[in-house]
Chains A and B, each alone.
Chain A
């Protein structure tokens, strides 16, 4: 079938208008189309297909489809013979099939292939997860065993150190061994944390706490690291939050300590700034934003991208495996918080950790009527001023001194309205001078109930007579409590009997050394297995029992069940390195009084003992 000149003209104009082609190009296309109609030459079809591929534009494809339909509709209406109409119809079907139907078939194939690929990927993911779980379990078991061994090593090292019998090089070797053990303990602890997070074993333990106290604990934690880098200025800008909040303090601390430690690690000079501010999101909840900025080495965009991935440590000469930020990020997610970072190479980094926390209204600060006296001769006077205003708004009676002579004069001439708190922020020499003055003041009976506070020390000074010393800031909650004279506990009076059972001799050794050091009058009987313990329990009264859970023969749970069958029990504590949720749940379910974790942390053990002694009293 041959197109008439008029038809060619109409089609050329249509192509020109629709695709904005030149006369020549439009004409060329129409002639190719005519060749298709007349001779079955497929050049037109192939060129269209290539143009669609090349453009990759849905609108262009749709335009082509519309143009083809219009062209054939026009021609169909313009021809008169039956043969021509049939020719146009057949031709259209062929063109449509080659351009669109085949493309759809290809898309269908791609889709089918994609489904098959999905299936393969699903299977692979499932197997990968199974393998990871097995590996994690293996790592957890190894870590668990390592903790037990580290418990022993650390315990012995502590005892040797406490005896202070080593000298010269030997003392250094001991310090190096202690340092290496701590690094290893931190690593094992990191691995266990990751395993716990990944296996869903992480427990969120919420409690009411004061934000500023928590931040002080975080700062304490990095204080030693900071001491080794004297060119870093540690700055704080902590908003006063006059009520307790409800949240998982320990895990929030873990996140912040991780970020702070990293800041110290990657900053050699300049500053590290810890900032906290809040905003209300409802009557009962606030959004807390912790910002940690440093002037350290910073990160490249790729490093920023990878920072929260496991093993992301990029400077090999720095310590650690790079698990810390991964743990922090995972913990932040578990707490429904967000952790983000902005960093530029050689410019430092800014980490922002934000999370919602409930307010504990009953834990609102109550300092009305407190008399507080501040002396500040430092440049941070403005910050102090803000604090004074806050305390005054909360009902405290506050005096603020900037001049030394006025302040000293005030102290020496005081006869009544003695302050509950005297807070001093001074220079290095000033603190030493005031330490001596406080020695004198404390000898006066009227200052018996006054708490002397050294604030914003920013340096490590040995002060003997201040009651509280804060290197960066004192917590606002400090002003709630009144000073009570400390009653020094006489541990020698503690004369209870404890039975401890563990199949590992070193664990028992360490336990004995820690207890005898603190409580020389406590009787500690040791059993190396379940049956031996049961025998001892039958013939002697004990005030406390500690049972290792993982023992050959009778395990800890079985020993406990047998002891229960013997009658009334004293508090029985599980002694274990397995601190997984499932294990802790089981310990509670069967009726243990609690868990004493391995590696043994003496202060926790002492707390348990004191609680028991108090209960007996």
Chain B
């Protein structure tokens, strides 16, 4: 579809951008919404599903045509004090977008109905209820079918990382084994962004020699946990809770470790001497331990986001790893304030069990941990 075909029913602002009404609200302020939204994206803690559903019903009652999508979270992020939501509030991004400019799809992991006919003029927000075999392939397929369109998103999270309570939400239903795909027409709205992390690879390659799914039993033909503890010392439960020892995971020889995804340790088993990751691995995959870059470098990397400042009425979606929250503590809201100061746009997001985005602008998106992934949704400039 060309811009000229739909320009008649849209409002263009003085700067030439299509007007996109938006508001970020919490469950306490949702009643103040003063325009009719076409789509609402909300984040909720897993224990607050019922609460979220009530808000969905209220929204639907008031705006019957609204599409509501959602995702469970360990905690939410939004651009008002306290920035990191600790009081189990749900947060909502209410948008008045051109209805024909987007599509929402639910893909079921178990039924494996991942084949998807997509047009090539979309970018995508992808929210998955959990990490599943084939998620990397799905991201790659989608990006391929979107003709290089951008894909950003996250894996839903829950208060307990070992539970299976994370969900996604669409059209009044919660889904446990599904992926939600929100396709947004590039002609109307742009979606740009970047994933950054604060680590660099160090040391020797560790080759996965025995594993099942997300559990590594042997590295370099030796018990995996023993190998790791020889390098980092004894691993405590606190280390696991703080996501202390992430790895760079290399699954193809033609990429450097710097361009491979980071993955965190979910848990360890000192009896089986095994390590469980937040993603699946296969034999012959290679790992390298990740160590934090200097504080100065960390701030420089955060500044990479400043390039996304735009004059258009935009919103920033933030998918931060739960590991980022554990590490940064109070500094996370300081960084968020800094981001707000430079981007000059509202933001919301949540702490996830995996983020989807590229490590360089324009490159392929990957799923990884320990990142801050930013996606800026902006109306396109009228080119008619």
Contacts and interface: CB of A to CB of B under 8 A. Distances in A.
B7 to A, nearest CB: 41
Given A50-B334, A53-B338, A123-B203, A110 B295 contact: yes
Q: How large is the interface on A (under 10, 10 to 19, 20 to 34, 35 or more residues)?
A: 20 to 34
A48 to B, nearest CB: 11
Given A120-B231, A120-B232, A113 B329 contact: no
A102 interface: yes
A65 interface: no
Q: Considering the complex of A and B, which 3 residue pairs feature the smallest CB-CB distances, nearest first?
A: A124-B203, A102-B330, A117-B291
Interface string B334-348: 100110010000000
B3 interface: no
Contacts of A562: none
Interface of B: 81-83, 202-204, 230-233, 242, 244-245, 289, 291-292, 295, 327-331, 333-334, 337-338, 341
A68 interface: no
A311 interface: no
Contact of A98 (B231, B291, B292, B330): B330
A106 B337 contact: no
Given A46-B82, A54-B338, A106-B329, 18 more contacts: A43-B81, A46-B81, A46-B83, A50-B334, A53-B331, A98-B330, A102-B330, A105-B330, A106-B330, A109-B242, A110-B295, A113-B327, A116-B233, A120-B203, A120-B291, A123-B230, A123-B231, A131-B204
8 contacts: A46-B83, A106-B328, A109-B329, A117-B291, A120-B289, A123-B232, A124-B203, A124-B204
Contacts of B333: 46, 49
Contacts of B82: 42, 46
B328 A124 contact: no
A2 interface: no
Contacts of A131: 204
A323 B64 CA distance: 76
Contacts of A120: 202-203, 231-232, 289, 291
A103 B334 CA distance: 11
Name the residue in B83, B291, B333 with the highest tally of chain A Cβ atoms < 10 Å from its Cβ: B291
Contacts of B231: 119-120, 123-124
Contacts of B291: 117, 120-121
A113 B327 CA distance: 9
A127 interface: yes
A97 to B, nearest CB: 10
Contacts of B245: 116
B292 A117 contact: yes
Interface in A428-483: none
A46 B337 CA distance: 9
Contacts of B202: 120-121, 124
B331 A127 contact: no
Contact of A50 (B242, B292, B338): B338
Interface in A99-118: 102-103, 105-106, 109-110, 113, 116-117
B232 A102 contact: no
Contacts of B232: 116, 119-120, 123
A109 B338 CA distance: 21
B113 to A, nearest CB: 43
B370 to A, nearest CB: 12
